[in-house]
Amino acid sequence: MKFSMPLPAAIVIAAATALVISYSIYRPEFAGVTLLIYFFTVFLLSVTVFIINSMYSRHKSSIDASDFTSIAEGLNTEIIIWADDYSFIYLNKKIRDELGIEYNGYDRIEALNMAFGLRGRDPLNLIKLSECPNFEVTFRNRRQTNTTIAWSTSVVKKRKKNSIHLTTGFNLTELKKMKVNLASANDFFNASMELAEIGFIMSTSKDRKKYAVSPEAVRMFGLKSNSIDVNTLRTLIHPNDRTQFDRAVKSNDNSGEVNSIEMRIKPPDGTYRWFSFRYKSIKPTDNTMALFGGALMDISQERAKDILIERLAFIDEVTEIPNRNRLMEVGQETYDTSMLLNYSYWIIVFDIDRFHIVNDTCGYNNGNYILKNFAHILYKYVTPGGLAARISGDNFALMLRDYGDEELPMLTARKIQDEFAKLAVDEFGAINLSCSCGYSKMPEDGKSFLDVMEHAEFALKSSSGTRSSICGYAPSMHDSIIGKTELEKSLALAIDNNELQLFYQPKINLKTGQIMGVEALIRWIKPDGTIIKPDSFVPIAESSHLIGKISEFVLSEGCRQNMLWQKMGYPKIVMSINFTSTDFYQNDLREKVFDALTKSGLSPEWLEIELTESLALSDVDFAVSQMNKLRELGVKLAMDDFGTGYSSLSYLQILPITLLKLDRSFITDIRSNNIAFQIVSSVINIAKSKEIETIAEGIENKEQEDILRTAGCDYGQGYLYGKPMPAQKIEEFFDRAKRGAMITNSTNTTRKKSGSK
């Protein structure tokens, strides 16, 4: 800083000098002392002025600029604060670092020159230039070469003299670099979002009506610009999904949590695709408004997979209606709701009568066609909140909302039966399609949906035997089950008291009219003479361990009786006995049969064991091995009730049977029902090709007999020839047959050897 004398001080000193010189001339004797005092005084005054001047100057500048310097020091912008006369020049840390100078110990004018990069020029002019807009200086010798700084100056403290200026320098080179980096970061972001196929939308207006759209979202939705208003966006969304989108937009959840919805969106010229929209609301700050926006991701493929998985798990493949799993799931939900809201529902279960045989004879494709059509018929009766499902092979279920009409299940079931029968007439000519139904009510008929379903199935089974039956569940149906224990007890006693007796029903050779065998059918004859039929007690015996005792009796008694007849000189015939699965799957089955034969002395070829299909199919491999053991003994095997259960002609290939018993239900209407005739004929032919003999059960009239004989059926059994009867009656039968043979002068009362191979 330069020393400068203030003007008033100079005038005072000049006046005092003139006074001292005048006085020294007037009084020369005091001139020496006067001059000494004078120079001493001037010296003191000068020193004082210098100190005051110096203090004044420093005080004046620091007070004006200190506020600015303390702020400017730490800023990341080049800042110079200066006074007009350069009595104060401050350069902030950013600029000092750039120039490589310390805060103290540098010539500030020199530093100012360096800052502006133009050495040797009048800094005042240069700094004045910085007051012009767009004043830029490019450096070559600064730390960063080729740095362009844009300077701009403004007055921060205006005074008449020595105003304070603030000059800021923006490093344009750094700024450009930042812009490049920013641009590449943006590109990277956009590229990533494109690869990840994630689009973004973000509100640009406080009312969330206008949105900025990311390039990927523009591409996804085929938009023409990167902004969209909420109404246009809504038109792209599937009408069913708009409400949840509206809810998202209106949500005022400022918790910062991310929410998510799934909706279908369609580009103007495309098709709907599924998108997940993860959105959040962002709180406003002092500088920003409230924002709302989120990420959109195409999830159509995942959705398609989910749908496929759901289809596989819950939709029946053949009929494309819900399967049992689905019914159980929806059913339990409905059960819970019905408990809660006091609703009730009907559950109707259907069983297509003799479907398996239709399937086998009409072909697999026709079988599927029938199932599909049945499902289609059923679906027509589904009312809101209800459901139709295929629950197993030929079993279906219908869940119907109950509105107080107790007749509803019965009427609906009848309508379905009628439509199903009509389908047969329309599509399959003479085929006779029918179905049986059982129904129960929810929630009163069970403690869970499963319970209610089982009761409907229980009702269905209770009605089985007759075609086109409809049976409602009643808790009294359980009475028979409750009474079961009682029945079991008395049955056990009956066995011990010899109340069980075998009746025999003749089997006739359809070609010769001769008796070829008998079927042993058990009867429980109570002490009062009441005869109880096996259907009432065999199933109970089967569920307890009594069946073993019964079967043992039947086996030994059947063999004994047949041997007795042979000993009595009657013609040799085959004795057929019925076995349940409990008997059949015994490991010592072969030994038991062998024992009975040995004890009675009956030759094995005169013993036949009847098995049902369901019995043989519950464990095919084991059944085949058991059957083979019996066949090795020389015993014959018959497949009973063929056509009622899971009848499959393919099993004829693997089961070593010798006789096929066509179920009575085919024979009953064989005359009027062409399809029954077709089925019977084809089964007979297939059996013949496998060298399996055939017998028809339930022949009640001559017409049936004639048709069956013509169709090639080997034997017949039924009321036409005789009902099951006691042994003595059979003997009468033999005698009659013998007499008949004598009348026709035939001595040959033996039959063709049945099932011999």
Residues of the shown chain interacting with Mg ion in the complex, contacts defined by CB under 5 A: 578, 610, 640-641, 697
Residues 372-390 as b/e (b if ≥16 CB within 10 A, e otherwise) read: bbbbebbeebbeeebbbbb
Task: Choose which of 241, 641, 705, 714 interacts with ligand C2E (CB under 6 A).
Answer: 641
Q: How far apart are CA 273 and CA 109, in angstroms?
A: 71
Placement of tokens 């996804």 in the chain = 220
Question: Whole-number minimum distance, CB 551 to ligand C2E, in Å?
Answer: 6
Write the burial class of residue 345 (CB in 10 Å: 0-12 exposed, 13-18 middle, 19+ buried): buried
CB 751 within 8 A of CB 512: yes
Enter the tokens of residue 193. 């979002």
**Residue closer to ligand C2E, measured from CB, 446 or 724:** 724
List the single partner that 29 binds among ligand C2E, Mg ion, none, CB under 5 to 8 Å by kind: none
Q: Is residue 704 near ligand C2E by the rule CB under 6 A? A: no
Q: Record the tokens describing residue 556, joined without a space.
A: 């030994």
Provide the 10 A C-beta neighbour count for residue 291. 15
Task: With CB under 6 A as the rule, give the number of residues binding ligand C2E.
Answer: 22
Residue 171 interacts, among Mg ion, ligand C2E, none and using kind-specific CB cut-offs from 5 to 8 Å, with none
Taking the CB of residue 451, how many other CB atoms lie within 10 A of it?
A: 15
Residue with smaller CB distance to ligand C2E, 334 or 665:
665
Q: What percent helix, strand, coil does the chain show, rounded to 5?
A: 50, 20, 30
Residue 117 or 548 with smaller CB distance to ligand C2E: 548
Nearer to ligand C2E, 622 or 719 (CB): 719
Whole-angstrom distance, CA of residue 484 vs CA of residue 95: 106
Give the sheet arrangement for strand 89-91, strand by strand: 89-91, 78-83, 164-171, 147-157, 135-139
> Does position 702 bind ligand C2E by CB under 6 A?
no
Residues 351-390 that bind ligand C2E (CB under 6 A): none
Nearer to Mg ion, 98 or 697 (CB): 697
Residue 79 contacts which entry, ligand C2E, Mg ion, none (Cβ below 5-8 A, type-dependent): none
C-beta of 412 vs 704, nearer to ligand C2E: 704
Determine, following the binding rule CB under 6 A, whether residue 538 of this chain makes contact with ligand C2E: yes
Q: Tell me the pairing of strands 291-298 and 198-203.
A: antiparallel
**Backbone Cα Rg of the chain:** 56
557 contacts ligand C2E (rule: CB under 6 A): no
Per CB under 6 A, does 737 bind ligand C2E?
no
When binding is defined by CB under 6 A, the residue of 58, 121, 415, 533 that contacts ligand C2E is 533
Residue 518 in the binding site for ligand C2E (CB under 6 A) = no
Q: Which helix (H) or strand (E) holds 139?
A: strand 135-139
Query: 160 — phi, psi (to 5°)?
Result: -60, -40
Residue 326 vs 664, nearer CB to ligand C2E: 664
The residue nearest ligand C2E at its CB is 718
Under 8 Å between Cβ of 368 and 449: no
The site partner of 718 among ligand C2E, Mg ion, none (C-beta below 5 to 8 Å per kind) is ligand C2E
Is 522 a residue that touches ligand C2E (CB under 6 A)? yes
Of these, 412, 580, 749, 754, which contacts ligand C2E (CB under 6 A)? 580
Nearest to 724 by CA among 525, 542, 570, 548: 525
Q: How far is the CB of 442 from Mg ion (least distance, A)?
A: 36
Region from 248-256, 402-410, 534-542, 707-715 binding ligand C2E, contact rule CB under 6 A: 534-542
* x/- map, 586-615, ligand C2E, by CB under 6 A: ------------------------x-----
Partner whose footprint covers residue 534, from ligand C2E, Mg ion, none (CB < 5 to 8 Å by kind): ligand C2E
HSE (side-chain half, CA atoms, 13 Å) at 186: 8
Identify whether the C-beta of residue 463 lies closer than 8 Å to the C-beta of residue 407: no
* Residue 122, CA atoms < 13 Å, CB-side half-sphere: 5
- The contact mask relative to ligand C2E for 657-686 (x = CB under 6 A, - = no) is -------x----------------------
For residues 235 and 96, what is the distance between their CA atoms, to the nearest angstrom?
60
Helix, strand or coil for residue 17?
A: helix
Residues in touch with ligand C2E (CB under 6 A):
505, 521-522, 533-535, 538, 554, 578-580, 610, 640-641, 664, 697-698, 700, 717-719, 724
